[in-house]
Amino acid sequence: MRPRIGITAYWRDASWGPWTSMPACLAPQAYVDAITVAGGFPLLVPPLPEMDGFADEALASLDGIVLVGGDDVGSANYGAEPHPTADPPNVRRDAAELALLRGALDRDLPLLGVCRGFQLLNIAYGGTLDQHLGDTVDGDVHRVRLGEWSNHPVEVVGGRLAELVPSGTVIHSHHHQGIGAVGAGLEVTAYAPDRTVEGLEDPTKAFCLGVLWHPEEAGTGSGAPVFRALVEAAAAYAATRR
């Protein structure tokens, strides 16, 4: 039986067929494909923070979880005023994903944070965000424009990530926010050429990894080992439950 990997869902208006601007829960197909190819069974987790016991109920049915990319995390979640360039806060999604993340950490459920999910991981450990990298470094390195990937190499300096991604790998990047203060208990395991933090891990957990880039967009290339490692950890977690 394939381990069940949750994918946190975007919550936003979307359009399809004759329908325009309809409320929708969705996730990019690249995450579904990456998990499936790695041997997992992908399950979409809608943001339902108003449901009593939402996080516990969702996590009880999962063997691992991916916190995906998306809009900027609301700055209120780490005690800061919003930067003029920040996206409007998606309070519902922030609340749901932080609840899922903290619940996964409590269970030692294998988790992977991607871009926004990487930033949430840092916040859950008490860290903060740099709300606009372009204020201090060349922002085009990380996101040349909305809707277009930027690419740059990453320097991998340790942790589980060093077993999965060769240092110097060129990655897919699309963000303008990064890490401010690193959360207590997290280890920095990768940097961009401008020293922006690109990888974070909790070495005390079975599998707790966050990357600022988008490994799902690498297809079966450099991103595949990250998803295989998540699925393998999820299979081990499932075996302990059985």
Distance of alpha carbon 82 from alpha carbon 73, whole angstroms:
10
217 catalytically annotated: no
Catalytic option among 97, 201, 216, 217: 216
Beta-sheet pairing, 178-179 with 155-156 = unpaired
Catalytic option among 174, 175, 176, 214: 214
Find out whether 227 and 215 touch, Cβ atoms under 8 Å: yes
Tally of helices (H runs) and strands (E runs) in the chain: 6, 14
174 catalytically annotated: no
Helix orientation angle between 224-241 and 29-37, rounded to the nearest 10 degrees: 70
* Residue ranges in the chain assigned as alpha helix (H): 29-37, 54-60, 91-107, 116-124, 161-164, 224-241
Catalytic option among 115, 142, 172, 175: 115
Find out whether 134 and 177 touch, Cβ atoms under 8 Å: no
In eight-state DSSP terms, residue 149 is: -
Instruction: Render 158-198 in DSSP notation, one character per residue.
Output: STTHHHHS-TT-EEEE--S-EESSPPTT-EEEEE-TT--EE
142 catalytically annotated: no
Q: Which residues are catalytic?
A: 115, 214, 216
